[in-house]
Amino acid sequence: MSEFAVIGMGRFGRSVAVTLRQLGHQVLAVDKDEETLRHVADEVTHAVQLDSTDPDALRGVGITNFDAVVVAIGNYIEENILTTVVLKELGCKKIVAKAGDERHAKVLEKVGADIVVRPERDMGARVAHQLSSPSVLDTMEVSPTFSIEELSISDRLAGRTLGQLDLRARFGVSVLLIRRDGQLLISPGPDTPLQTGDVLVVVGENRQLTRLESSL
């Protein structure tokens, strides 16, 4: 069990905080608005009202003791950036910050955010991939040029092995695992036969993944 602090209880911040708590972690929810905190207090471990740009206030809740701090402030860019700066200066172990656009993301990276997320862009990319190819169940960008995708197996591929498909040679992508009937087949070998209903979790360059999508 890990300990996380989430600063900013808008829709994104609340979703992160509540989900982390449901996964069994200790979660501190932080917001400067008392009414906003009241709505999430019963769904997290602790909820604290404070100004996240105030170093003394953050020290008071032991912010550097958390495994990661998520800066989920969305409506106030200056507050979002300043909070990230303060957390970095205090020496937090890992800082995850929400950005609204590319310029905002670059600033957050420069001031010390370890991970920068753009929820709206990421969700838009997922929807676009799912619309363009029915085989795409989900996608997650791991860099500007690489992604991880979940791909459903069509009936025509059932019975064929990973070796026969030879996805690495044909498309330059690697199969990380197969989801099958609620189980995970980790690092499946070339002799692993595919079944109807299987979901392949693959990683590769975006352009290669697009080629693979069209072939499935």
Q: Where are the domains of the chain?
A: 3-117, 121-215
- pLDDT, one tens digit for every residue, the chain (216 residues): 789 999 999 888 998 999 899 888 999 999 999 999 999 999 999 999 999 999 999 999 999 999 999 999 987 899 999 999 999 999 999 999 999 888 898 999 999 899 888 877 666 666 665 566 667 777 777 666 778 888 888 888 888 999 998 999 899 999 999 998 888 888 899 999 999 888 989 998 888 888 887 777
Tokens of 11: 């829709």
CA end-to-end distance (rounded Å), the chain: 39
According to CATH, the topology of domain 3-117 is Rossmann fold (3.40.50)
CA torsion sign for 134, 138, 141, 142 is negative
Segment 115-136, tens digit of pLDDT = 888 877 666 666 665 566 667 7
pTM of the model: 0.64
According to CATH, the topology of domain 121-215 is Alpha-Beta Plaits (3.30.70)
Cα separation, 136 vs 43, in Å, equals: 32
